[in-house]
Amino acid sequence: MQVKGAGNHLAHVRKRQGRSLEEVARRMRGKSLSKQALSLIERGSMKIPAARVGALKRAYRLSPTERNEFERFYAFEMLVEHTGEDREFGEAVLSVVDLALARSIYVIGGRKLSLASPALQEKAAEFLQRTENKLVFIYPTWKDSSVLKRPVWFPNARREMLEMRELIQSFSKRPLKPQIQFFGIDVFQAATDLVALNALSFCSPFTSTTIAGSSTGEHVAGYVYVEGPRDRWVLLTIEHARRVLATITALLEKSPENGAIVHEELD
C-alpha cells in the first residue's frame, strides 16, 4: 500500500494491525466520527477535524514512530490547505525538514523555472542566509533545437535563470547569487549514462520535485508539485525522498568529470 497522506497512513496502520473500522470507531468513545467518516478519512475524501486528531491517534493505537509519521503528514496537509492551491509555497517544505539541519534544497523537473510566490522567494532567501547552504535547480537541456522541434519540456534559458536569482536576491542584503546554481541534463547524452537517465525520469514537463537534505543525507524531506487547473502537492515518504536525493547527489558528483551530460548553466 502506498501511503500518500495522513488518512492513508491511518488505513495502513489499521490494516497492518489486522483491525476493522468498527473496532476503531468503538475506540473513538463518542467523539462523533462514525465508521463511515473514518472510511472517508482513510481514503482522503474527508479532512481530519483538528479537534479529533488526538482521539484518532489513540483510537488507531499509533506507536511513537507511527505518530511522528502521522503528524508529519497532517502538518503538511494543513499548511498546503492554508497556503492555497493557486501558487507554490515555502511553508509546506519547512514543515517537514529542520532548517537547522538542512544544507541543500534541490528542485528538479521539466517545468519553467519558477518560484511563483513572493512567500517562497523570501523563504529561499532566508534559507540561503547560511553561507554553506545552497539552492540547486536541475532541468533538461538540448542544444540542437532543430532535432526537438516540439519538446515536451520548457526551454529554460539564461533569462529565466537570471530572473530567478534576482527575485531571490531582492529579499536579502547579503549576496546570494553564488549559492543559487543551475544544472542542465543533456537529453541526448543522458541515454548513455544510467545516473543521468534516472535523474531525467524525474523531469516531467508538468511537475517539479523539491528535496531538502542535510550535509550527511541523514535528514531529508521532499514533495512533488503538480501543475494543473488545480495545483497539487504530494509529500514524499522518507524512503522515496532519500532515493531522489541519492540520484541527484550522484548526478552532480559526475558533473565535473562529464560536462557533456550534466553541466552548470551559470557560473
Higher pLDDT, 238 or 58: 58
Q: What is the CATH number of the domain that holds 30?
A: 1.10.260.40
pLDDT surpassing 70 at residue 228: yes
Whether residues 79 and 131 share a domain: the answer is no
pLDDT digits (tens, 9 = 90+) for 150-197: 778 888 888 888 888 888 898 898 999 899 999 999 888 888 889 999
Q: Both 74 and 96 in a single domain?
A: no
Residues 173 and 57 in one domain: no
> Do 169 and 240 fall into the same domain?
yes
DSSP letters for 190-253: GGG-HHHHHHHTT--TTEEEEEEEESSSSSEEEEEEE-SSS-EEEEPPHHHHHHHHHHHHHHHH
Q: Is residue 1 part of a domain?
A: no
Mean pLDDT is lowest, of 156-165, 238-247, 257-266, for 257-266
Q: Is residue 70 part of a domain?
A: yes
Q: How far is CA 86 from CA 81, 116, 190, 249, in A?
A: 11, 10, 34, 31
pLDDT in tens, 126-140: 889 999 999 999 999
- How confident is the model over 89-99, as a mean pLDDT? 52
Same domain for 20 and 52, yes or no, is yes
Are the C-beta atoms of 48 and 74 separated by less than 8 Å? yes
Residue 47 DSSP SS3: coil
Range 35-59 average pLDDT: 85
Q: What is the pLDDT of residue 200?
A: 92
Query: Is residue 56 situated within a structural domain?
Result: yes
Among the ranges given (26-35, 118-127, 234-243), the one the predictor scored with the smallest mean pLDDT: 26-35
How far apart are the C-alpha atoms of 105 and 93, rounded to whole Å? 10
Residue 26 lies in a domain: yes
User: Could you list the residue range(s) of the whole structural domain that residue 153 is in?
Assistant: 91-264
Q: Are residues 131 and 211 in the same domain?
A: yes
Q: Does the pLDDT at position 5 exceed 70?
A: yes
Q: Please tell me the least confidently modeled range out of 11-20, 99-108, 193-202, 240-249.
A: 99-108
Q: In this structure, is residue 254 part of a structural domain? A: yes
Among 46, 66, 83, the domain-final residue is 83
Total tally of structural domains belonging to the chain = 2
Q: Is the pLDDT of residue 250 over 50?
A: yes
- Specify whether 198 is located in the same domain as 215: yes
Confidence tier at 87 by pLDDT (50, 70, 90): very low
Contact predicate 120/89, CB 8 Å = yes
Do residues 240 and 159 share a domain?
A: yes
As a whole number, the mean pLDDT across the chain is 80
Strand partners for 262: 185
Mean pLDDT of 114-123: 70
Average pLDDT of 218-224? 80
pLDDT for the residue 146: 59
Instruction: Give the model's pLDDT for residue 188.
Output: 84
pLDDT at 79: 59
pTM: 0.68
For residues 143 and 256, membership in a common domain is answered with yes
72 or 194: which leads in pLDDT: 194
Asked whether residue 90 carries a pLDDT value surpassing 70, the answer given is no
pLDDT at 265: 80
